[in-house]
A and B are shown apart, each in its own frame.
Chain A
């Protein structure tokens, strides 16, 4: 290693502090807003830390009393979990067999590239027919309908991730199991899928995050508490006549919590998914 001059070392530390501040300041401010009484947020000069911490907005948002702000928020929270959960499970169920097939049969891989190329399509290019189709099926403002639409985003992505996962599992293991008399499906169940478990977990987490984050289709295809997701609920709050900015901030904190926790946890999942290759030597 190059020996560092004290000046260079000081420069690196200052830059690191600056980067940490850039990353943390907006997030910290979101949290501070969520616990600051409205008077502190409207004060001039602005109070950067509340005189008394006020967690009442969280209680309000998570209360399920009828017709409260909380009822709408918790309904959208449940909808988000349902839509993202259903879309993730369906996306993986579709991805696993096709990813394995493409990984083991390169002659059909062009079909996967076609599926991946759909990533380039802007959602607006599909929105009108999807809207008309869902309306025709009576599935507008419906969590199942929205989850189905989310497959346009999730399925290509999970298939691609799963395919690279299967590629890292040597086919020799599968061949050995088959030689020992195991059928195709027994081989997949006993050998391949357990080895692919880390990649499956990573794909599921990514898929869930993508669905949790989705806004455009949810904005178009949902209209009330029966199907509105969190992203739409927050955009409503931010764009509406809510005068308490702390309430908007608290809703943002709650919506950000699951993906932030997953993100911090996924750093490990990602690395383990990459390093747990299965066969050694």
Chain B
């Protein structure tokens, strides 16, 4: 069969998918780029061309700077915690103990719980009057008055991160566990014969097998964390006093609550750019580590 016909056939088979992708992703994205240079409202007038005004205004606004910082805090702390706890849980699940299969099966539960249900559940746990966290801390004598965990700027972000971590560390653990189980036994045995201690074994035997899959998990989780909307919307709507407002929530407010489609679009594109830069940086790191390992 000739190569040209193979290629033509491939394009024909991909046509439906590509057509749909252009309709629901390509065209909207181009439209968003166009909108970002106008002062368009969500409904009514299509707006007039204002050049890079939206971008300039957005970047120089304290609202944006604060929200960027808040999002970065959420992303860095929750992803770092998920990776550390996930790897520790995987190392545990890789040991021999009774009930290990059951525990491994349970790990799928937080992952399967819909994000909105997870957010609702933790919102109930943190409830200032009837929440389980307040009740537990009081009954254990660790606290002498109920607190409004999601209602105080000092604790709301930490409470959110705990809820996000609880849902997402098991996925990291399952990925890491699969990687751990791909470490050949004879290499472990050889390192034992050579007298390697637990830390050296982890560093030189286990970690090389973990690094690749963990890097993928890290990239995916970081991208997700920078795009975060659902869990924050349900738990705090970005409050109190905007202390948990993420970039996606800021776009929602700008474009849909205040109906400023133009500046909302410019902000959305800046998030996109940020996520792409992160992904590119990760890709660079992966290539570098792969190069130095070879």
Residues of A whose CB lies within 8 Å of any CB of B are 1-2, 4, 9, 12-13, 15-16, 19-20, 22-24, 26-27, 29-30, 33, 41-42, 44-46, 93-95, 97-98, 100-102, 104-105, 107-108, 111, 115, 118-133, 148-149, 151-152, 155-156, 159, 209, 212-213, 215-216, 219-220, 230-231, 234-235, 237-239, 245, 248-249, 252, 255-256, 259-260, 262-264, 266-267
On whether A129 and B92 interact (CB within 8 A), knowing A100-B13, A108-B7, A209-B112, the answer reads no
Closest 10 CB pairs of A and B: A263-B112, A46-B135, A129-B31, A129-B28, A105-B10, A101-B13, A101-B10, A98-B14, A124-B251, A98-B17
Question: Least Cβ distance of B83 to chain A in Å?
Answer: 16
Q: Which residues of B, 101-142, contact A by the 8 Å Cβ criterion?
A: 103, 105-117, 119-125, 127, 129-130, 132, 135, 138-139
CA distance A255 to B118 in the complex (A): 11
Residue pair A263, B27 in contact (C-beta under 8 Å): no
Say which residue of B14, B227, B229 sits within 8 Å of A108 (CB atoms): B14
Interface flag for B61 (CB, 8 Å): no
Residue pair B109, A23 in contact (C-beta under 8 Å): yes
Q: Mark B25-67, 1 if CB is under 8 A from A, else 0.
A: 1011101100100000010000000000000000000000000
CA distance A225 to B189 in the complex (A): 61
Say which residue of B9, B92, B109, B227 sits within 8 Å of A123 (CB atoms): B227
On whether A29 and B135 interact (CB within 8 A), knowing A120-B272, A212-B114, A220-B256, the answer reads no
On whether A263 and B32 interact (CB within 8 A), knowing A12-B95, A215-B230, the answer reads no
Residue pair A252, B229 in contact (C-beta under 8 Å): no
Residue pair A128, B100 in contact (C-beta under 8 Å): no
CA distance A238 to B92 in the complex (A): 36
Q: Nearest CB to that of A249 among chain B residues?
A: B124
Q: Interface SS of chain A: helix, strand, loop or mixed?
A: helix
Say which residue of A127, A159, A245 sits within 8 Å of B268 (CB atoms): A127
Residue pair B275, A120 in contact (C-beta under 8 Å): yes
B204: chain A residues at CB < 8 Å are none
Residue pair A19, B103 in contact (C-beta under 8 Å): yes
Residue pair A124, B268 in contact (C-beta under 8 Å): yes
Say which residue of A26, A95, A267 sits within 8 Å of B125 (CB atoms): A26
On whether A255 and B13 interact (CB within 8 A), knowing A23-B170, A126-B29, the answer reads no
A155: chain B residues at CB < 8 Å are 17, 20-21
Residue pair B95, A24 in contact (C-beta under 8 Å): no
On whether A159 and B17 interact (CB within 8 A), knowing A260-B112, A264-B108, the answer reads yes
Write 27 A-B pairs (CB below 8 A) sorted by A numbering.
A13-B97, A23-B110, A46-B132, A104-B6, A105-B9, A105-B10, A120-B223, A121-B29, A122-B227, A122-B272, A124-B227, A124-B271, A126-B24, A126-B32, A128-B32, A128-B261, A129-B29, A129-B32, A213-B115, A215-B229, A215-B233, A235-B120, A235-B234, A238-B124, A252-B117, A256-B114, A263-B109
Residue pair B29, A127 in contact (C-beta under 8 Å): no
